[in-house]
Amino acid sequence: MVDVEYLQLQLNDYCDELEVLRNLSKVTIKNYRQTNDYFIRYLKENNIDIDHKPDFVLKKFIIYLKKDKDNSYSTINKYLQQIIQFLKYLDVNVNIQLPKDNSKNKKIKYLRPDEVSEVLKTIPKELIRDKIIVQTLYRTGLRVSELCNLKKHDLDVNSTEKAIAIYVYEGKGGKDRTVYIDNKTLKLINTMVYKRTIKNMDGEEYLFTNRNGNRLSERSIQKIVKKYAIATDRRLALEGRQTNFKDRLTPHTLRHSFTIFLLNYSNKPINEVQQLLGHSNISTTQIYSKVDDKRIKQSYENINW
């Protein structure tokens, strides 16, 4: 019988296998654990036994995620894939079709360079950490989890180069890679660390910290970015300019914007952009080369027939 207590015990063994035998990253293992913990709590709270009709139970869980929790289909499918892998580890026979996800056909959300500048302009000068967070996300293409995990020794703060290497350890899929930041942003970073140091607020390891010197969480960074999205909308509204940064701007939007800027505005080779983003497959990067219809129109208008 596969009851919830058994599932919880087996989840620990499963995560050990992911770590030791499959050599997955800590971030990936954490995601698998959190997803399956969530599923096990759902079973327990609803007094459901997965041993009988697992496909039926998973269908009920899908309905719960969509109707009660309003999750997107892409999120639901990510959860289901992780849960199914765990159930297969337990030799539970699963034969369920994932919900159709039409979000892949939607246009990628991103900000133009002038729009990112407006957001940066909104951030008060004295809140240097917040400006660096937004600027670094935009100028490196880092994922928010990668930004949170940056440590001070991951970049050379004494560098005088125009492009300073940032070493990303265990990014998505457990892959290491190198990204780059410009020297103007590095100067801001050094100023931020110096101000924290003289106020005895500097943490020992992490680059981005809270007032206690502890690592900033992903949720904290998401809130910071959202705060300035709303503030920028309000500021520009006073100038008679209607924007919608509140619904468009997230840390991941800045990653999209970085990619669009390199491919569509700077004409950088797609294989270079792929490496900076940490995409395993170049087809993922190619999606971004097809989104800027406005620039295509402008380019067509400039054709001398």
Q: Are the C-beta atoms of residues 171 and 149 closer than 8 Å to each other?
A: no
Residue 27's nearest CA partner among 176, 152, 250 is 176
Catalytic site includes residue 143: yes
C-alpha–C-alpha distance, residues 242 and 236, integer Å: 7
- 121 φ, ψ (degrees, to nearest 5): -65, -30
Catalytic site residue from 32, 206, 228, 288: 288
Choice among 131, 139, 255, 256 that is catalytic: 255
C-alpha distance from residue 168 to each of 151, 154, 164, 232 (Å): 9, 7, 13, 30
**Token match 């009660």: residue?**
68
Q: Which of 129, 131, 139, 279 is catalytic?
A: 279
Is 138 tagged catalytic? no
187 tagged catalytic = no
Q: Which of 78, 112, 152, 172 is catalytic?
A: 172
207 vs 8: CA distance, rounded Å: 35
Q: Cite the DSSP H helix spans in the chain.
A: 4-20, 26-45, 54-63, 73-89, 113-122, 128-140, 144-148, 183-198, 218-238, 245-248, 251-260, 270-277, 282-286, 293-301
Q: 3-state class of 10 per DSSP?
A: helix
Residues 6+ apart with CB under 8 A from 304: none
State the catalytic residue, choosing from 129, 131, 143, 256.
143
Catalytic residue among 60, 196, 252, 268: 252
Whether residue 292 contacts residue 260, with contact meaning beta carbons closer than 8 Å, is answered with yes
Active site residue 255: yes
Determine the angle formed by the axes of helices 113-122 and 128-140, rounding to 10 degrees.
170
52 classed as catalytic: no
- Using CB atoms within 10 A of its CB, is residue 6 exposed (0-12), middle (13-18) or buried (19+)? middle
Q: Which two tokens stand for residue 62?
A: 């899908």
Q: Enumerate the active-site residues.
A: 143, 172, 252, 255, 279, 288
